[in-house]
Amino acid sequence: MKGNPHAIRAGEGSRWSDLLRLSAGQPALLAQTLVATLVAQAGMVGSLALGGWLIGLVLTDAPASLWQPVAAAMLACALAGAGGRWWQAHVSHVFAFHLIETLQVGSYEGLERAAPDVQAGVRRGEQANVALNDAQALEHFFAHTLTDAIGAVLVPLVALLALAAIQPWLTLALLPFLAALASVPFWLGGRALRQGRAMNEALAGLNAEVLEGIEARREILLFDQEAAWHARLGRLLARLRLEQRRYALRSGAEQGVIELIQALALVSALACGAWLLQIGLLDLAQLPLAVMLVGAALLPMADVAREAGQLGAVRASAGRVLGLLRQPPRVRDQGCQQPQGARLEFDQVRFSHGGRPVLQGVDFLVRPGEMVALVGASGAGKTTCANLLMRFYDVEGGAIRVGGVDVREIPLAGLRQGIAWVGQDAYLFDDSIEGNLRLARPDATAEEIEAAARQAQAHDFIQALPEGYQTRCGEGGARLSGGQRQRIAIARALLSQAPVLVMDEASSSLDAHSEHALQQALLGLRGQRTLLLIAHRPSTIAQADRVVLLEDGQVRDQGTHSTLLARCDAYARLLAQPTQ
């Protein structure tokens, strides 16, 4: 149950500029968020400044006619700031959720583009973690950091200008502390990113192990592996806790430094103000206003510095999500031609995987309406031929043609709509049986669905279920047996109007009676559809018009079943093997 050690990463994918460009994809919401932020920050600065002014007026025994309008203005600013903050919180989260939806959809599309390479290299739990949790983790950046950063630039600038107008020396005294606050996230930025990446990878590994344990719970119980699985889970949890503690320790240190800088800044401002007051360069009425402006300059920057301390994990998540968004397509969808008929042709096809040659000049033909069996030992390249036909990969040499057109020149959607494929491990969605069948043809009538199910030997067991065709299959078809799932998948392919039908060990889960009935159904399709059968069972192979024998990635021989049996020792040995 050990997974592939590779994780989804992106070298330059964690740059904030990429997230800023993504933010520009929602211009209306971004503009509303910025306006709301400005209103909230203006209200905050205004209420602080007017509050300081009010205190100064009271300290100098100013008449009520002077301080009452200031108090009213301060109240108005506070209300405007509160309203702006509410508006900002609302619209910034709507903005963030729109972008998260874009990221999650884009992550899934990235997995689709790279299929099946990414799926083969990364555990499903890790894929789900990137598409769901990592994308969701960016909510903090879009809803908080992005807008607060604007305030951290504008508010201190306005406060410093106002403070300079009152007393330039106070402004000069404050500048080193503002610079120190701005630099805090950069001191440990590299470590924060590394720790965030390690923490996210530990969480992804834990999610993958939990998902695998749920899916393999039967095997865990059958082989008495509960203790071993719990031990693995414990090790992963311990690793996650360790990474979280390291992250928290570094983050806590940053928070402490920020608090210290704030305290020193306020003490310095008060000391400087008292000194200026003593030497006559500052009036008593101005001192509270100056202190409030110091606070207005410090607070936004301190808030952003605190948030930045939590951005290591966010930045690591951004790298993984953007890595999927940038995932190059495994095959290019640039074709514009349409096949003319259902003739399949493999013309000197070459393909390698991981540097190992898989197909080396494979050459065979399937005529329209013909049934051809593709056989060979495990690893001979049979399923690879089907993968190349469906363009999950592209050939490295030679060509595959459908209807006389190179599959690379046919639009992907059109190519795959024209080929119905039943694999060894058919997947059923957690929908009704009818819903799963309608995936092949949404407009099929109930009679057509039943006819396809009868052909696949599925109708009788479906009718025996309490809810018949409305019975839910469960996730992955978990409520049905392996043979039942396979028959529904076959019925789905038969329901399709695709002129080409590819069956990759589709009858491997069927009993002898059901397999015989399926063979009769396939024989009924002879002349109507082009059939390519990847098979091991002699009873299935014998029904084919021709048999193509693959050996070590090459066509060893081809002909009818009886001809090959008589002249090809390798074919006879293959069929004689007990596992076939």
State how far the Cα of 141 lies from the Cα of 148, in Å rounded to an integer.
10
Dihedral sign, CA of 164, 168, 169, 172? positive
What residues contact 383, with CB distance under 8 A and at least 6 apart? 504, 534
Q: For the chain, give every domain's residue range.
A: 16-325, 344-576
Task: Give 428 or 139, the one with higher predicted confidence.
Answer: 428
* Residue whose token pair is 């006619």: 65
pLDDT band per the 50, 70, 90 thresholds, residue 184: confident
Of all residues in the chain, the percent with pLDDT exceeding 90 is 29
Task: Give 303 or 371, the one with higher predicted confidence.
Answer: 371
**What mean pLDDT comes out for the span 554-569?**
93
Of all residues in the chain, the percent with pLDDT exceeding 70 is 93
- The pLDDT score that the predictor gives to residue 564 is 94
**What mean pLDDT comes out for the span 495-521?**
79
Q: Is pLDDT of 69 > 50?
A: yes
- The pLDDT score that the predictor gives to residue 309 is 67
**What mean pLDDT comes out for the span 215-229?**
80
pLDDT band per the 50, 70, 90 thresholds, residue 533: very high
- The pLDDT score that the predictor gives to residue 285 is 80
**What mean pLDDT comes out for the span 153-158?**
82
* Phi, psi at 144, each rounded to 5°: -125, -65
Q: Is pLDDT of 231 > 70?
A: yes
**What mean pLDDT comes out for the span 517-535?**
83
pLDDT band per the 50, 70, 90 thresholds, residue 5: very low
Dump pLDDT digits (tens) for 312-354.
Answer: 777 777 877 887 778 777 788 888 899 988 999 999 999 998 7
Q: Which of 60-69, 385-394, 543-552 has the lowest mean pLDDT?
A: 60-69
pLDDT band per the 50, 70, 90 thresholds, residue 437: very high
Q: Is pLDDT of 580 > 60?
A: no
Query: Regarding the domain with residue range 16-325, which homologous superfamily does it belong to in the CATH classification?
Result: ABC transporter type 1, transmembrane domain (1.20.1560.10)
Dump pLDDT digits (tens) for 536-551.
Answer: 888 889 889 999 999 9
Q: Is pLDDT of 205 > 70?
A: yes
- The pLDDT score that the predictor gives to residue 6 is 37
**What mean pLDDT comes out for the span 102-114?**
78
Q: What is the DSSP string of 366-419?
A: E-TT-EEEEEESTTSSHHHHHHHHTTSS--SEEEEEETTEEGGGS-HHHHHHTE
Six token digits for residue 60: 């100098």
Q: Please report, as a single letter, which amino acid is at residue 572.
A: A
Task: Give 96 or 521, the one with higher predicted confidence.
Answer: 96
CATH class of 344-576: alpha beta
The mean pLDDT value of the chain amounts to 84
Dump pLDDT digits (tens) for 449-459.
Answer: 999 999 888 89
Dump pLDDT digits (tens) for 233-285.
Answer: 899 999 999 988 988 888 888 888 888 988 898 888 888 888 988 888 888 88
Find out whether 264 and 173 touch, Cβ atoms under 8 Å.
Answer: no
**What mean pLDDT comes out for the span 555-578?**
91
Q: Is pLDDT of 7 > 60?
A: no
**In sequence order, which ranges of 16-145 are alpha helices (DSSP H)?**
16-23, 27-59, 64-114, 117-121, 124-128, 135-137, 139-140
Find out whether 300 and 160 touch, Cβ atoms under 8 Å.
Answer: no
